[in-house]
Copies of this chain bind each other. A is one copy, B any other.
Amino acid sequence: MPATHDVLFRTLADPTRRAIFERLCRQGEQTVGALTAEAGVSQPAVSKHLGLLKEAGLVRDRHEGRQTHYSAQLGALAPLMDWTREMAGFWESRFDDLEDLLKRMDQ
């Protein structure tokens, strides 16, 4: 089940968490340690963010010995893209309606 818009927006709203996700997108799979080194917050904080990202379906984790590797799940962004497209679509259709109206008024 894909995450709802609610979950996606809420999860990506936090700057620290979004930075972690962006890093995973840009640089691919990373260990918790590597992410912590750049995150500017404590390791437990990073783990918590990763937990939420995982719940939202935005990342996967892969255990290897004592390390955990996280990677971005880009597919999870689809609902976001759909939503923005939908909103833009409404705008355009209303614009078309307006055009129609003006055209009819012109006659």
Contacts and interface: CB of A to CB of B under 8 A. Distances in A.
Interface string A1-32: 00001100110110100100110011010000
Given A9-B9, A9-B18, A15-B6, A26 B81 contact: no
A39 interface: no
B25 A90 contact: yes
B18 A5 contact: yes
A9 B7 CA distance: 12
Interface in A59-82: 72, 74, 77, 80-81
B5 A90 contact: no
Given A26-B90, A72-B91, A84-B84, 18 more contacts: A5-B18, A6-B15, A9-B9, A9-B18, A12-B13, A13-B13, A21-B87, A25-B87, A25-B90, A25-B91, A28-B94, A77-B84, A77-B87, A77-B88, A80-B84, A81-B81, A81-B84, A81-B88
